[in-house]
Amino acid sequence: MKPTIGILLAAAAFAVVALPLAAHAQKKGDPDRTALPIQEPAWPTIKELDARKVKPPPRFEVKAPKGAPNVVIVLIDDIGFGQPSTFGGAVAMPTLDRLAAAGLRYNQFHTTALCSPTRVALKYGRNHHSGNAGSVMEIATALPGNQGRIPNSVAPLAEMLRHNGYNTAAYGKWHETAPWEVSVSGPFDRWPTRQGFEKFYGFIGGETNQWAPLIYDGEKKIEPPRDPNYH
């Protein structure tokens, strides 16, 4: 079973990576992971005419390195770094404490005090202006660094993991796609399913009705279940 990266996208003020990716030394026979996507090896030319005497090459399949951990990122609206008990705050969060105890605590991440830019910086590993997210997507401009369009030169972390054999999924709030690109006609380049996530279930904008949310399954708008427990 492939390891997974699952992202619960509730907002951008606080994040914990429960299990960081470990460095894996490349061994003989391992695929070259320095360039993505990983290239299929060059198989020797088969000169035997009788197929019964030919041994086929092994099936090419990209897998995550042995022992690669699952990665879970949780983003929560309106919570500061110093609020949860995990980082010395007064709000008891025992589950978060246990996750942090089993992994690493990153305490030097720069937030922009805004939703979209911080999310882009975290999930793409770049300064938010490099991701064209100088502000929230709804007030993007025509000026470079704040156009609301993540450029192709910025590679998503989820895409890197997917090309390395991970299954990837995002759930909840997205808020990284410009409003004028949220329609049935696309373009879908900056939707979750084109930014490294094989599965997306959530809402694209910065907010939605909590009891009757505007939900997309991938790129398809769906009607949420009329179940009182759905919320």
In what side-by-side order are the strands of the sheet with 71-75?
15-17, 71-75, 4-9, 167-173, 199-203, 215-217, 220-222
Catalytic residue among 24, 128, 175, 231: 175
- 166: tokens are 């991970």
Q: How far apart are CA 76 and CA 90, in angstroms?
A: 17
175 counts as catalytic = yes
Angle at 181 between CA 177 and CA 187, to 5 degrees: 110
- Residues 206, 114 contacting (CB under 8 angstroms): no
Catalytic residue among 115, 129, 163, 231: 115
DSSP 8-state secondary structure symbol assigned to residue 111: P
Enumerate the active-site residues: 115, 175
